Amino acid sequence: MFLLYLIIFINGFYDIICGLSILFFPTFFFAKIHPQVFHKKDINNDILKRFLAYWIITQGFIRISIIYPSITINNLIAISYLFEAFVFTYEYIYFKTFYKTLWIVITSLILCFLLLIQN
């Protein structure tokens, strides 16, 4: 259980770093990771990048709340992973970003499942 919580905490911290990098340090390595999942023509818009950053930061803060584990927190984090899997599945189906999104969908579903069985 500790290892799962550590992975989720690190993932949340990573999300916050990536989101802040998109907003404030666009040339930084972490700023390019999430936007590269999408087709270049779709994510060249600065407003879309900012909204992506806000979403990533929001997920990050939800996930680092694992330091206060409870059924409610675990369920909220599981929902954030389920939502992420849904969004990237949608990306695959409608925009054909399969090879980039498969990893995200699978790991999000695994983490969601592991959190739900912890309850």
For the chain, the structural domain boundaries read: 2-118
CB 36 within 8 A of CB 103: no
- Per-residue pLDDT 10s for the chain (119 aa) are 899 999 999 999 999 999 999 999 999 999 988 888 877 766 778 888 999 999 999 999 999 999 998 999 999 999 999 999 999 998 888 887 767 788 899 999 999 999 999 86
pTM comes to 0.90
Is the four-CA dihedral 86, 89, 94, 96 of positive or negative sign? positive
Identify the pLDDT of residue 42. 66
Identify the pLDDT of residue 117. 92
